Amino acid sequence: MTLAAERDVASNHAGATFSRYSPVDGSVVATYPNQGLDETRAAIATARTAFDKSGWATSAAKDRAKVLQTASNLMLERVDDFATWIAKEAGKPMKAARSEVVHSAHVIAHYAALASDMRGEAITQQVPDAIGLVVNEPIGAVGIITPWNFPLSLVARKVAPALAAGCTLVAKPSHFTPKVTLMLRDLLIESGMPAEVFSVVTSDIDNGALVGQEIAGSTQLDMVAFTGSTEAGKAVARAATSNVKRVALELGGKSPNIIFADAELDDALRGAYTGIYLNSGQVCQAGTRLLVQRSVKDEFVERLIDMSKKIRMGDPLDPQTEMGPLVNEKQFARVQGYVERGISEAKLVYRGETPKDGGMERGHFVAPTIFDEVDSRATIAQEEIFGPVLSVLTFDTTEEAIRLANETMYGLAAAVWTTNINTAFEVTKAIRAGTVWVNAYHATSLNNMPYGGYGQSGLGRELGQHGLHEYLETKSIQIQLPRKRR
């Protein structure tokens, strides 16, 4: 089988399978059931019945919290098991893969704590003979559709709050990275979750499109939570109108990373480096538009090129590797196409070399690539590339930086590098994005703050209390007290 063969021929008969091929050298990584509409409808029916009849929705919060906390503890004991599969299927270097696993375990533990602390409101003393209660209840049976770039954390951010709320689930992971979703489900069952509460459907690329639309459009589900491209998110939202189910969407981005001349440039360089090269640029919030103030732009770009030359590309399982391959051949071709487009639109100032030995010459490697003198209206400055391709734009004033930052249909993330607190406040307030870092990029130290986007970067929020409330309905109960007879 060649590397171009990213999947087996689609099949709907019982026992059909598909294989995941390594993005490093094309070898078979794993084989999974190739499930279609029948299996998806059965999984949806299981989630529906489990919510309506199993008792999970009405179980004690402390019991749901115990399941989640146990799962978090077990995940931390098995970090390398999860990380190895992320490295094999997603092509993510082991260091970054381990970080994803630890983050996911912490998210699960956070929702274990929130499950034990859910509360409502009591409305009193408005009138003498009535009391009001505002209570939160689980929204119901939930469909989850997740991509391949963060195959564990993106599903954990949905599964954990949904289970904490008392919801039941059916999940469709990417056909490129199914393993860790299956491992998470097994871990939760081991931790005490009833098996019928959480089902997983695996399928190849052809069946996957059908499965995703079935989940999004099913009238048996009360909500669908999706992470992926903006165009796919729009399709999910359209399908969800079948029963006006709640929709949570975390979509694309074209995030500005703004460097002012007064910034601590060493720190800003590290932020720009991480902002574009983390996970080979396959990050929704990647800092793909680097806005640098004119007086320091040439120096900054030159130093960033020097850093880029030193990045170690290779096998994700090698502990020395800093950048792995792109996830598949289609993504490889897409990114290469944007690089060629960029050559006609801007000034190519750096393009690195990819690995050429150990079978990796057949891999989906794209080297760090930097374009300078990019017009904000250029294709590479407007469209999400999802690869290690950086566009450098120049600005003179704070007002110009804000204008350039907001010249996009997206609004997922942004960053501002400055030592002037007034500049920091002015710019963070003016940028239309769901997350704005100051003197940081991809920071996760406060990883339970709400996460989501403005504009065409999505609907709703993940993480923290906001993420929990996505999976809750709010009910007002008005109690009229008996009036005394005169």
Query: For this structure, is 167 an active site residue?
Result: no
Start-to-end CA distance of the chain, whole Å, equals: 89
**Among 6, 89, 100, 250, the one annotated catalytic:** 250
Active-site hit among 89, 100, 214, 284: 284
CA distance linking residue 473 with residue 227, whole number of Å: 21
> To which residue do tokens 């008969």 refer?
13
Active site residues: 250, 284
